[in-house]
Chains A and B, each alone.
Chain A
Amino acid sequence: MARIKFEAVGKKYPNGFAALENLNLDIADKEFLVLLGPSGCGKSTTLNMIAGLEDVTDGNLMFDDAVMNTVPSHKRDVAMVFQSYALYPHKSVYENIAFGLRMRKYPKDEIDRRVRDAARRLEIEPLLERRPDQLSGGQRQRVALGRAMVRQPQVFLMDEPLSNLDAALRISMRAEIKQLHQAMQTTFVYVTHDQAEALTLADRIVVMRGGVVQQIGVPDEIYERPRNMFVASFLGNPPINFIEGKLVDLGSGMAVERGGLRVALPPEAALKVQGQSGRDVVLGLRAEDVVEDPSPVADATLSGRVAAVLPVGSDQFLEMEVEGSKLFLRLGKECRYREGDNASLTINANRLHLFDKQSTQSLLWA
């Protein structure tokens, strides 16, 4: 019903600046797709293209095999929720929600039914006669959602809708959006720069940077098997730790060496880099992949000076200096290290990531 396909789509501006390059993306019907990336990566441009707010300069954008490149927004069946809600200030909440339906000439009673239905689901019924400036941020967000919901569109577009809300509200709204998706059974395309949001909500994530797609996959895959250093560092909080080093052949397997630090690679990984001793690589270690083990394991230990200890209620974070690099690691509350101590932590070698230093591409996963 609403398959969206990007075929080699590009967006170039007259001065040569390319916001999008060769985007190939197939969005399945009823999928919840998240476009994730830093500002300027092209995710909003992509969303705007689906909405018809921006022109496609190269390639084809198709809705169910119909080329939509030149179809203006008001002729497409999409609904959009904006970061700043974009509610019409001079209209009541009721009118805001009803506006899209009125423009499409739905009969009055149908409009009324849909508006009240949506208002009930979003629990904003008592607000129907109020004006946007009389509402709180969270309430405004619901009205914006309502406005999109009543249209029952083929595609639901969301451009960082939760960025303007405070932290607690953001988390509860995420759950509501997820439920909305289940209830509406429609394709959702969601843009955000918040990796936690992406991991929570998405059926699939498209990681973008500088107009180029970095990786497309289900959340688990993106997190566990990042294809390059950018994707590895963008997902995960705190960001992944990178340690530069060289490959060495230990005879019994491959390892990465940096100064006094040597980390042995697990067999499957070692296989992929067999015989490449001397290659400049970057090791990727997530903060949660270390433990405090009283008995240090050979070639799997991080030792260094603790530069800072930051307790955060449920865990502790350690900032450690290892061979000149600063690493952020997470440990349990029981850990008793203090600033200035020399610490020794065991690495979970099975969860290591390995990248080529030059190309930043992953050496473990294609």
Chain B
Amino acid sequence: MTWCPEAADPAASGPVRKTLEMQDIKRPQRRWFVRPSSAYDQRSAMLFLAPMMLVLSVVAVFPVLYSFWISLHDLKLTRPHRVPFVWFDNYVKLFTDPLFWESVGRTASFTVMSVLAIMVIATLMSLLLNENFRGRRVLSAILLIPWAIPYVANGLMWKWIYDSGYGALNGLLMQMGLIDKYVVMLGDTAKTMPLITNAFVWKEVPLATILLLVTLKSIRADLYSAAKVDGANVLQRFVHITLPQLVPGFALVMIYESMMAIRHFDLFFILTEGGPADASHVVAWQVYVETFRKLAFGTGSALAYIMAVATFVLAYFVIRSTSRKL
């Protein structure tokens, strides 16, 4: 039996303000020191981690370093025996090439458009799936299909839908009376990128939805109850509880999808091979061209390296936000 009566916290009256609890959530505990429990623990941990370290070092660290090394050389597989060391020539050539910057621009606009579309659709879908209703499981299962299929199949499917001669999109538009006859789709430089973007978005939405759904589900239910008692209505609850806790997860998904968009290759290969007239010639495609068509490994490496750095900068933010959870 406790003796002293607990000092009562003066309850905040009025609309939902930041309660002590919400502040706790917004600034999660950060473990600022690591304490090894014992020498046996240290040994066990090292042992358990060893396979992962081995695999990652060999297959991830080594290529990165090697790739950088190659990018400093003028390595052309067409004449593999003469490999002069050219310092940063490859990079300079790239940065001074207007075509490079065009492709960067295309990649950037592709990324922005896709991520925007993905986030909007995924947010709506995750809000929908967060509700409980009959058939939700079915919808959830259906949702997984685009995620599950390979990109090549995705590309193939949309290529057929977009086909200029017999495609379903053309057919649909004509049946709806929007066009008189079939138009050129992927071959029309104005339409190329939007169509590819659509195909990409369609496939990426499920994963984004699930990640957002996971975030939504992690919001504590009793916060909503507390807010109701505090007098908040539906909109206020959404604004003061759902939104603030959704933001970190939202940012995480956004950054992840941006990374996926920047490095995406498969659709550009299947649908347009960088064409028509370079309309879909993004950086990833350029790497392929340099490496496999021109066999200029030096340039290809340099380009890949630039992409890696750009992605790394983006990923820095991902690591920052995820390490809070870890």
Q: Which residue of chain B lies nearest to A17 when distances are taken between CB atoms in the complex?
A: B33
| B25-83, CB < 8 A from A | 32-41
Check: A54 CB closer than 8 A to any chain B CB.
Answer: yes
A54 CB contact (under 8 Å) in B3, B4, B34, B37: B37
Question: B36–A55 contact, CB under 8 A?
Answer: yes
- Residues of A near B37 (CB, < 8 A) are 53-55
- Chain A nearest CB from B29 CB (Å) reads 15
Shortest Cβ distance from B32 into A: residue:
A15
Residues of B within 8 A of A54 (CB): 37-38
User: Cβ of B33 and Cβ of A15 under 8 Å apart?
Assistant: yes
With A and B bound together, what is the CA distance between A167 and B40 in angstroms?
39
> Is A342 positioned at the interface, with any CB of B under 8 Å from its CB?
no
Tell me how many residue pairs across A and B have CB atoms closer than 8 Å.
32
Most A Cβ at <10 Å: residue of B32, B34, B40: B40
Contact of A14 among B3, B34, B38, B40 (CB under 8 A): B34
User: At the interface, yes or no: A72 with Cβ under 8 Å from chain B?
Assistant: yes
From the candidates B3, B34, B41, name the one contacting A239 in the complex (CB within 8 A).
Answer: B3
Asked if A242 is at the interface (CB within 8 A of a chain B CB), the reply is no
Cβ of A14 and Cβ of B39 under 8 Å apart? no
Q: Of B1, B34, B35, B38, which is in contact with the most chain A CB atoms at under 10 Å from its CB?
A: B38
Inter-subunit contact B3/A237 (CB<8 Å): yes
**C-alpha gap A96/B131 in the complex (Å):** 38
Q: With the chains together, A307 CA to B35 CA distance in Å?
A: 49
Chain A residue nearest in CB terms to B2: A237
List B contacts of A55 (CB < 8 A): 36-39, 41
A11-54 at interface with B (beta carbon < 8 Å): 13-15, 17, 52-54
- The answer to whether the Cβ of A328 comes within 8 Å of any Cβ in the partner chain is yes
Main secondary structure, interface of A, reads loop
CB nearest to A13 among chain B residues: B35
Q: How many residues of A contact B (CB 8 A)?
A: 16
Which A residues touch B38, using CB under 8 A? 52-55, 70, 72
* Given contacts A70-B40, A72-B40, A328 and B35 within 8 Å (CB-CB): no
**Which of the listed residues B3, B33, B37 has the most CB atoms from chain A within 10 Å of its own CB?**
B3
Q: Is A340 an interface residue (CB 8 A)?
A: no
**Are A14 and B33 touching (Cβ within 8 A)?**
yes
Interface flag for A238 (CB, 8 Å):
yes
* Shortest distance from the beta carbon of B45 to any chain A beta carbon, whole Å: 13
Q: Give the chain A neighbours of B3 by CB distance below 8 A.
A: 237-239, 317, 328
B252: shortest Cβ distance to chain A, in Å?
Answer: 29
CA separation between A15 and B33, bound complex, in Å?
Answer: 7
CA of A137 to CA of B213 in the docked complex: distance in angstroms? Answer: 33
B33 touches A13 (CB 8 A): yes
In the complex, A54 Cα to B41 Cα: how many Å?
Answer: 9
Output the least CB separation between A244 and chain B (Å): 20
Residue of A nearest to B5 (CB): A310
Min CB–CB distance A39 → chain B (angstroms) = 15
One digit per residue, 1 when the CB lies within 8 angstroms of any chain B CB and 0 when it does not, for chain A 62-94 equals: 000000001010000000000000000000000
Nearest-neighbor residue (CB-CB) of B35 within chain A? A13
Closest residue of chain B to A53, judged by CB?
B37
| Contact indicator per residue, chain A 83-120, by CB within 8 Å of chain B (1) or not (0) | 00000000000000000000000000000000000000
Q: Say how far B1's CB is from chain A's closest CB, in angstroms.
A: 7
Q: Chain A's nearest CB lies how many Å from the CB of B139?
A: 30
Mark A229-245 against chain B: 1 for CB-CB distance below 8 A, else 0: 00000000111000000
Contact B40 A237 (CB under 8 A): no
Q: A54-B38, A237-B3, A238-B4 are in contact. List 14 more A-B contacts (CB 8 A).
A: A13-B33, A13-B35, A14-B35, A14-B36, A52-B38, A53-B37, A54-B37, A55-B39, A55-B41, A70-B39, A70-B40, A72-B38, A72-B40, A317-B3
Chain B residues within CB distance 8 Å of chain A: 1, 3-4, 32-41
Binding site for B on A (CB under 8 A): 13-15, 17, 52-55, 70, 72, 167, 237-239, 317, 328
A-B complex: 7 closest residue pairs judged by Cβ atoms = A238-B3, A55-B38, A15-B33, A72-B40, A13-B35, A54-B37, A237-B3
CB pairs A–B below 8 angstroms (16 shown): A13-B35, A14-B34, A14-B36, A15-B32, A15-B33, A53-B38, A54-B37, A55-B39, A55-B41, A70-B38, A70-B39, A70-B40, A237-B1, A238-B3, A239-B3, A317-B3
